Every structure is written in C-alpha cells, then in structure tokens.
C-alpha cells in the first residue's frame, strides 16, 4: 500500500531542469516534496499536487521526502521521441529514446562489438562515485570517465546530488541510465548496452558501474542490492573489459557484518562470480591487513581474484582533496576514513597497474 495525500505548493526551494524541491502544505503542515518535471511537469506556487508520502510516514531515512505523483493544475510538456517505456506497467510509465533505438541502423548494432578494453570500476554504494572520479581526474585530467547507473536503487538520476556535483566539477564526461533507471545523458535498456555506449559514445577510458542512492539491505546473506557486483564482474568479462571492484570496508559501521571488509563484498565475490576481478586494498596497520586477509581467505577470494595492497604513499596524497566533503551512510570521511581510503586506493590502482 502507498500513502497518497493532497498538498498545495508554497514555493520552489531549489530546482534544475530535471528535479524540483518544493515546500508544500499538507493540511496545515509545511513539508518538503520532490518533483520530477519529466513525469509531472514544472510545479509553481499555488499548484495542487498529489503526493506519495509513504517513505516519510514510515520514517525511512532513505526516503526523506514526499514525491509528486501528479499536478492537478498542469500537464507535463515533456514529450520525447522514441518508443521505449521505462517504469513499465506502473502509473508513471513514460516513453523516451534509448541509445539502442537511436542507433538501430548504426555499425554498433549490426557488427560485433570490438570489446570494452578499459577498466570498469564496480562499486556497491553511490557514495563511492565522487571520490573515485575526483582521484582519477587528479591523476590524469585527460581521462574520460563515464558513469553507468543501474536500476537497483534510485531510478531517477536527477535525485543524485553526487552526480550533480560531479558534473559541476566536470569530472564525469557522460552518464548512462540502464534498465528502469532514467535521466542520464544516454538511456539504455540494459547494463550491457550501457557499457558499450560508454565506450562508443563517450570514448570512456574508465567506466564507473554503480547504483544510484538508496540501496537495499535486509541483514540476510543474499538479500541486498550490492549482490549484483558478482554479476557485474561477469558482464564486464563478457564484453572484454577489465573488472575492478572497490571493496566496502569500514571500522565505523556498528554492524558486525560490515566490520573490516563487508560481507556484501565477500559474498558477491566469493560466491557469485566465476570470473576474476582486481580487488585493491588500502594499506593500513598490520592488524587490519591481517583481518582483511583472513576475511578474504575464508571467503575463497584470495584464490579466485587478484588482491593487491595499494601503498599509502600512492593514495594518501589524493585522499583529503578527493574526500573532504564526502559522506557515506551519514558518516564524514574523517569518521570512516578506511571506507574512503579503499575508494581512493582503487583509483590509484587503475593508474599504477592498468594505465602505467
């Protein structure tokens, strides 16, 4: 069941061409709502809107906002070409032009793809994007970086403040939304074509393959969004790319299953891929390195994947500049430094071992 409530728009708090943050009056209470003009038109003060208030009413931290379902006073003006439907068979389904449809008669669709031949950095959390992209651009500003957002978390790319910041800093050269996700510079039907488009359309030297914000975890062995990392390794191999997984590491997370290397990384790479990937670890003290290797050995990862410890000297000079304003799970970089050290070390690994 969903919570649906009527509200009046009081003012627009901030907006871009793809998203609006509204102050709305629900009954006599001022609250905040997100509006996607692509789905329900541009809202202005005085408009009456219908909201999905489910996440806020449930107290979900990842929801945080009401979302506009429809605007009773206007109709969306967004009417793109194309025949591919996203958010299919829901009340909000809409059409758009995907890269596959646009290039139906091109050589990309009618000849065998020559292969990615570049590193694809696979991450479990959206918070990894900004520090890894910043580090890569600091190492080599000429590298072209494309971000592929799949549909295992947030569907609208416009919801991501991280991507907005990365585009503002000009450290992402293109974005692609795959599956039911939407709002990228390019739209694709699946992850395979998204990876191909990253190379063919953006000439990407490095591809980031990570979800949007708001991943799901249940505390069970297999019930979490990041389990797809194992599948991504297989996909990248099949397309002739070089898969690299950023390990999720923390000593600030209070949950035991995420202490050291998270069970999410261990399960995905230990059990759910048969193909090899690179797994860089950040150098740290002896006790922590021993813990990492025990965890990796127990999960069967040391025998299956290429595990490399990246020296602190290699990544530390980028750490503060890349992570100064970054958060993960509500924690700043100084509160969870090993998490961000793993991200920055992964970028340095690309430079030292793949593009050296």
70-95: pLDDT as tens digits: 999 987 666 678 889 999 999 889 99
User: For residue range 214-251, what is the model confidence (pLDDT) as tens digits?
Assistant: 898 898 988 999 999 999 999 999 999 999 999 999 99
Any idea where the domains of the chain sit in the sequence?
4-71, 107-354
Give residue-wise pLDDT tens across range 339-355: 999 999 999 999 987 87
| The pairing of beta strand 84-86 with beta strand 66-71 | unpaired
Choices 3.90.226, 3.20.20, 3.40.50, 1.10.3470: CATH for 107-354: 3.40.50
The answer, yes or no, to whether residue 61 has pLDDT greater than 60, is no
User: CA-based angle 284:287:290, to the nearest 5?
Assistant: 90
Residue 293 has pLDDT above 90, yes or no: yes
- Quick check: 150 pLDDT over 90? yes
- Is the fold of 4-71 the same as that of 107-354? no
CATH superfamily, domain at 4-71 = EutN/Ccml (2.40.50.220)
Residue closest to 322 by CA, chosen among 337, 342, 344, 339: 344
Q: How confident is the model at residue 106 (pLDDT cuts 50, 70, 90)?
A: low
Residues 6+ apart with CB under 8 A from 316: none
Q: Are strands 249-250 and 260-261 parallel, antiparallel or unpaired?
A: antiparallel
């Amino acid at each position: 069941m969903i919570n649906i409530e009527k509200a009046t728009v009081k003012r627009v708090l901030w907006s871009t061409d793809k998203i609006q943050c509204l102050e709305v009056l629900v009954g006599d209470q001022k609250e905040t709502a997100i509006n996607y003009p692509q789905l329900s038109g541009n809202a202005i003060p005085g408009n009456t809107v219908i909201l999905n208030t489910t996440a806020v009413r449930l107290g979900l931290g990842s929801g945080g906002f009401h979302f506009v379902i429809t605007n009773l006073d206007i109709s969306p003006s967004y009417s793109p070409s194309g025949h591919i439907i996203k958010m299919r068979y829901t009340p909000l389904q809409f059409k758009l032009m995907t890269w596959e449809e646009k290039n139906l008669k091109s050589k990309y669709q009618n000849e065998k793809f020559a292969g990615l031949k570049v590193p694809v950095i696979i991450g479990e959390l959206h918070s990894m994007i900004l520090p890894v992209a910043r580090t890569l651009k600091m190492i080599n500003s000429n590298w072209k970086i494309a971000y592929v957002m799949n549909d295992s978390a947030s569907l609208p790319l416009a919801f991501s403040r991280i991507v907005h910041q990365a585009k503002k800093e000009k450290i992402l050269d293109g974005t692609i939304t795959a599956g039911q996700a939407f709002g990228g510079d390019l739209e694709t039907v699946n992850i395979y074509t998204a990876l191909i488009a990253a190379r063919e359309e953006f000439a990407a030297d490095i591809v980031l393959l990570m979800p949007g914000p708001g991943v799901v975890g249940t505390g069970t062995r297999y019930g979490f969004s990041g389990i797809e990392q194992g599948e991504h390794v297989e996909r990248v191999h099949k397309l002739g790319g070089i898969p690299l997984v950023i390990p999720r590491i923390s000593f600030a997370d209070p949950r035991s299953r995420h202490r050291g290397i998270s069970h999410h990384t261990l399960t995905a790479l230990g059990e759910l891929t048969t193909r090899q990937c690179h797994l860089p670890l950040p150098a740290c003290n002896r006790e922590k390195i021993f813990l990492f290797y025990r965890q990796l050995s127990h999960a069967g990862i040391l025998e299956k994947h290429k595990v490399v410890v990246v020296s602190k000297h290699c990544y530390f000079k980028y750490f503060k500049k890349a992570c100064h304003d970054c958060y993960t799970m509500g924690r700043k970089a100084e509160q969870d430094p090993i998490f961000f050290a793993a991200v920055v070390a992964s970028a340095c690994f690309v430079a030292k071992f793949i593009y050296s």
